């Protein structure tokens, strides 16, 4: 009995060590997996997520959408223009490009900064030649989201149609293959996964402006900001583009 007791205690201690080790190993694996994946990883779809790597730059979509095939995708330009045109991704990447570092600011109060590369809408307009009656553009997106911006807003400095982010092509989550970056506007005025740009004569309300308390103009107001890369520590902003 004494020998059995010693053996039992020895196994108990040994088993406890292994159980503890297994617990921390599974915890480590879980954390690693969370860093690498999100709810849509490994699927044909992409949608809103704040999981894994997206904890440093949240992703919002109107609704989950099927991933876009860049080889077959085209950007359709329609509406009030002399030369309605369809562009491939290669066509757009061959336009004179610009790069800028700017912050995307959400009405939910978070923000995140990235290095964007793309082109001015003026480069497109040299080709499609909008009519004088064209007041603005309605963006039609892959997730069925729609947004309107005036031509005056779209032709401001630092407003870009971008195909790259942080030195790489846009990811599906961040709006591949094309999105708008308007740094002085809230995120809902920065449509992504763009399929069509329709030149129109009348101002229109975008998707969020129709269903929620969102300004059709969307200019960032003075108030607070919680940047993700600074652990969401609150700070005051003066309105318009956040320069820091």
Residue 50 resides in a domain: no
How do residues 113-128 score in pLDDT, each as one tens digit? 999 999 999 999 999 9
Cβ-based neighbour number of residue 96 at 10 Å: 9
pLDDT of 37 reads 61
User: For residue 102, what are the domain limits?
Assistant: 69-237
Residue 20 resides in a domain: no
Return the exposure string of 189-227: e unless at least 16 CB atoms fall within 10 Å of the residue's CB, then b.
bbbbbbbbbbbbeeebebbbbeeeebebebebeeeebbb
Residue 17 resides in a domain: no
Residue 8 resides in a domain: no
pLDDT of 157 reads 95
Interval 61-89 mean pLDDT: 98
- Residue 167's contacts (CB-CB under 8 Å, 6 or more residues apart) are 115, 117
Helices then strands, each counted (H, E), the chain: 5, 14
Residue 21 resides in a domain: no
Residue 49 resides in a domain: no
Interval 200-227 mean pLDDT: 95
**pLDDT surpasses 70 at 30:** no
Confidence of residue 95 (pLDDT cuts 50, 70, 90): very high
Residue 99 resides in a domain: yes
Confidence of residue 212 (pLDDT cuts 50, 70, 90): confident
Confidence of residue 29 (pLDDT cuts 50, 70, 90): very low
**pLDDT surpasses 70 at 105:** yes
Tokens 């109060």 correspond to what residue? Answer: 109
Q: Please report the DSSP string for 81-145 in residue order.
A: BSS--EEEHHHHHTSPPEEEEEEEE-TTSEEEEEEEEEE-HHHHHHHH-B-TT--EEEEEETTS-
- Residue 108's contacts (CB-CB under 8 Å, 6 or more residues apart) are 58
Residue 19 resides in a domain: no
Where is pLDDT greater, at 185 or 212? 185
Can you read off the two tokens belonging to residue 110?
């978070």
Rounded mean pLDDT of the chain? 88
Distance CA 32, CA 90 (A): 36
Q: How many domains does the chain have?
A: 1
**pLDDT surpasses 80 at 129:** yes
Distance CA 217, CA 149 (A): 8
Q: What is the CATH number of the domain that holds 197?
A: 3.90.420.10
Instruction: For residue 208, give the nearest of 154, 145, 136 by alpha carbon.
Output: 145
Instruction: For residue 87, give the nearest of 116, 136, 128 by alpha carbon.
Output: 128
pLDDT of 98 reads 97
pLDDT of 25 reads 34
**pLDDT surpasses 50 at 19:** no
């Amino acid at each position: 009995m004494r020998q059995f007791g010693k053996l039992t205690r020895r196994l108990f201690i040994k088993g406890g060590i292994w159980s503890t080790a297994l617990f921390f190993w599974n915890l480590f694996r879980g954390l690693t997996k969370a860093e690498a994946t999100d709810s849509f990883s490994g699927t044909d779809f992409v949608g809103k997520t704040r999981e894994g790597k997206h904890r440093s730059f949240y992703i919002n979509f109107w609704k989950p959408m099927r991933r876009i095939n860049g080889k077959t995708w085209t950007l359709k330009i329609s509406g009030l223009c002399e030369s309605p045109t369809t562009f491939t991704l290669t066509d757009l990447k061959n336009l004179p490009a610009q790069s800028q570092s700017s912050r995307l600011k959400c009405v939910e109060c978070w923000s995140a900064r990235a290095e964007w590369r793309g082109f001015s809408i003026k480069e497109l307009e040299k080709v499609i030649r909008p009519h004088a009656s064209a007041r603005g553009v309605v963006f039609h997106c892959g997730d069925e989201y729609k947004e309107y911006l005036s031509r005056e807003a779209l032709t401001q400095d630092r407003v870009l149609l971008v195909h790259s982010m942080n030195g790489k092509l846009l990811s599906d989550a961040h709006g591949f293959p094309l999105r708008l970056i308007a740094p002085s506007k809230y995120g809902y005025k920065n449509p992504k996964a763009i399929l069509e740009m329709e030149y129109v004569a009348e101002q229109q309300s975008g998707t969020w402006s129709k269903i929620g308390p969102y300004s059709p103009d969307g200019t960032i107001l003075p108030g607070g900001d919680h940047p993700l890369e600074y652990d969401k520590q609150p700070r005051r902003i003066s309105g318009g583009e956040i320069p820091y």
